Structure 1
């Protein structure tokens, strides 16, 4: 569906809302299509394709609001949606903090094309995706020690959205993605171990070869063969780059305005305090080129902008949409996100943590004896206190050298204390939405044998 058609849909939704009696409203229309191919044993196992348009409408009646959504875009449906939303809003509880942005707050003059979020290349044929999946599987099976490939997949998606509101905002953009992945298994029976590799890019030409992805999945699975349980005690832990971003995700959750407004955050009293080592920053930049988390404006029409969430180790602010900002007596940071069936809420796209000057191997040498974690299983995180406990697997390290793979262990600590003791490597992948390197954390408790 064209941008013009999506724009017409949102305009029609707003007109229907005003006709039904809404005092204010915003509308979103999303046109998406995706295709996914899975293979097993060199043959097609599953092929899925989906496409369609979804629409959402939020109406406001004073300080009450309601959201409705549909996948039917007929005029009758639009009118019924608006009438239903207005009726629901009249019965909804009051929220003194909701409301559309003032016109002066709205984004102006953005350049969607400059962000390069949409690949102009043709949608790949299903046969091309199948060829990628077959190549990934074959490369994984070619690694000595790989017993089988659990899955090999390739996918493509394209999505357009348009947002409009009765405050005068209207804008939209498109986004594409091409990906390939593989999960390989080494060993047999109870001795089976598995690992994975995956790559995704906005532009198909930027995607690494499927064979490279499959080979990496196979090598990772073989490296985990014949694991043991690690020692129990307090040791340094190195979070591999693949999973180090989880620590940053916990931090981002703790500075989310909704958690702060509820008082349910282990960083609720930390504004202006040291939360990372001095010299380290966590920067959000929604304007990075060819990155999946980029956007020209947020879900309330406010301009996307670069900001330092943490600067030189000090927490500088919360992640806010309009409602949470009003509740906390602050200004929105332009971080509203939403789907078609729910109101806006705060969320973060692209972030980058300051990288170090040393490699992961350098940090392994520095840690001496400890644990290198490459994957997690489950989690127990207390959002109020930051107490942290996760099942883990990876490799045991002594004298700076990887000795053997380990699994069936648990690492525990407190996130506030952990983040103050991190040492970053220099191996973060720049194309990811969350650019986070491997992280060395001192003094975690490991429960093993």
Structure 2
């Protein structure tokens, strides 16, 4: 669950209850019932988490309403420890009888599970006290009905069609409004909960006809609906992207510099995060084993994690275990300064948790060489002659070896200017070499979920074409 907003004061708690079927107080009572019954059964330790989510999703296509979906889900999860044995169970039934049955199920699973010497709740010293739970202002419910949502989606798609008569079709446009809240506690001193929201607008137009047809898409995603991009802007930009790809062709197989568009560059950072996360490290399924303190990027590359950005998509006052989080350097002057560890993975590695149970928080990847003027045009100038990639296909990344091979499309660039669109090519390399070969990071910053970064220029990759 994306636990992204603190509600440590009464105002936050009232907001957390807005638009939900269950109150924070109800969840608190539910969790306490579960923990009490676990102790009654003889559990050494226990934890419980009650949550609820609700939302509306509307899609349109070619000026007509296609789907209206409303979702509402709820869950109570229980974890029981019997010494070093651990059991989990969950239910969507919040009756007292169901709570007891769920705790009993978790208890029975723990009884027959093999001992794990690493199993256990976080150390009390790592738990963030309730007084330090921050209000991060990430819950902004959107009181929109299906008719209004459909109108926004229709405006977005209409703007795409109006951009150029060569926009001939559409895969549709959509609007989504989602919100959730939770309360969790465990017997090692943690209790807390908060609410979060995430809203989005998207469209996928198709340009051209016959043998020369191209699609592209664009979206806007924010916690606050008023921060979403204008539907007409999203529609026009998506259309322009699709139009720019008309007349795409293959290129001969070559080796050249490659510039990754900012939204795609976030995927490279995602591969880094996976490689230095505890699960991959203790399972020895990472190409960056034993990389702490070692140089894996050029000296100008930095990566900072900051959980406390107000309104940030990856913000949180604590991690999924109630462990303290902090702003920190992950990559410093090209060297790995820290891993992403939960309590369990930290213990497996004989280290201390970094507060990353549930994943990384807001990440800012940047270069100390980047200037404010290094927009996309400037990055194309830095690329010179090579490949500018705007779409990747397939899952050709080996997390163990770092081997990288993805289908791609984009533009061939000559002397810093886009020459023509290209498609049906494959780019290949190894992430170790790609990381070390980063020559520049653009000032064209883009926020992709919890990651913020600009376009990334890599000095050389293999490009397989015709």
Question: Normalised by the shorter chain, which TM-score bucket?
Answer: over 0.9
Query: Any idea what the Cα deviations from partners look like across 1:402-437, whole Å, max 9, x if unmatched?
Result: 011111100001101111111111111358520021
- Confirm or deny: 8 A CA contact 1:395 1:405 kept in the other structure: yes
Aligned to 2:159: 139
- Confirm or deny: 8 A CA contact 1:112 1:173 kept in the other structure: no
How far apart in 1 are the matches of 2:42 and 2:63? Answer: 58
The question of 1:407 aligning with 2:458 is answered no
Q: CA deviation at 1:20?
A: 2.7
The question of 1:353 aligning with 2:365 is answered yes
The question of 1:179 aligning with 2:205 is answered no
- Confirm or deny: 8 A CA contact 2:124 2:189 kept in the other structure: yes
Which of these residues, 2, 11, 14, is aligned with residue 35 of structure 2?
A: 14
Aligned to 1:444: 461
Match of 2:217, SS state, is strand
Aligned to 1:342: none
How far apart in 2 are the matches of 1:122 and 1:241? Answer: 28
Q: Could you tell me the TM-score, scaled by structure 2's length?
A: 0.91
Q: Which moved more, 1:101-110 or 1:132-141?
A: 101-110
How far apart in 2 are the matches of 1:131 and 1:213? Answer: 14
Which of these residues, 298, 304, 314, is aligned with residue 319 of structure 2?
A: 298
Aligned to 2:382: 366
- Confirm or deny: 8 A CA contact 2:62 2:172 kept in the other structure: no
Which of these residues, 406, 421, 426, is aligned with residue 443 of structure 2?
A: 426
How far apart in 1 are the matches of 2:168 and 2:134? Answer: 46
Q: Could you tell me the TM-score, scaled by structure 1's length?
A: 0.95
Match of 1:142, SS state, is helix
Structure 1 segment 77-226 matched on structure 2, within 5 A: 77-108=98-129, 109-113=131-135, 115-119=136-140, 122-144=142-164, 145-226=166-247
Match of 1:264, SS state, is coil
Aligned to 2:5: none
How far apart in 2 are the matches of 1:146 and 1:112? Answer: 47
Structure 1: 5+ residue stretches without partners? 338-346
Match of 1:380, SS state, is coil
Query: Any idea what the Cα deviations from partners look like across 1:182-216, whole Å, max 9, x if unmatched?
Result: 00111224422110000011111111111111111
Q: Which moved more, 1:18-27 or 1:132-141?
A: 18-27
Query: 1:200 and 1:122, CA in 2 relative to 1: closer, same or farther beyond 3 A?
Result: closer
Count of aligned residue pairs for this structure pair: 438
Query: Any idea what the Cα deviations from partners look like across 1:278-314, whole Å, max 9, x if unmatched?
Result: 1221111111111121111111111221111111111
- Confirm or deny: 8 A CA contact 1:291 1:431 kept in the other structure: no
Q: Which moved more, 1:246-255 or 1:287-296?
A: 287-296
How far apart in 2 are the matches of 1:35 and 1:398? Answer: 46
The question of 1:393 aligning with 2:405 is answered no
Structure 2: 5+ residue stretches without partners? 1-21
Aligned to 2:19: none
The question of 1:69 aligning with 2:90 is answered yes
CA RMSD of aligned residues (A): 1.4
Query: Any idea what the Cα deviations from partners look like across 1:18-69, whole Å, max 9, x if unmatched?
Result: 2233211111111110100001122211000011321111111111111111
Aligned to 2:253: 232
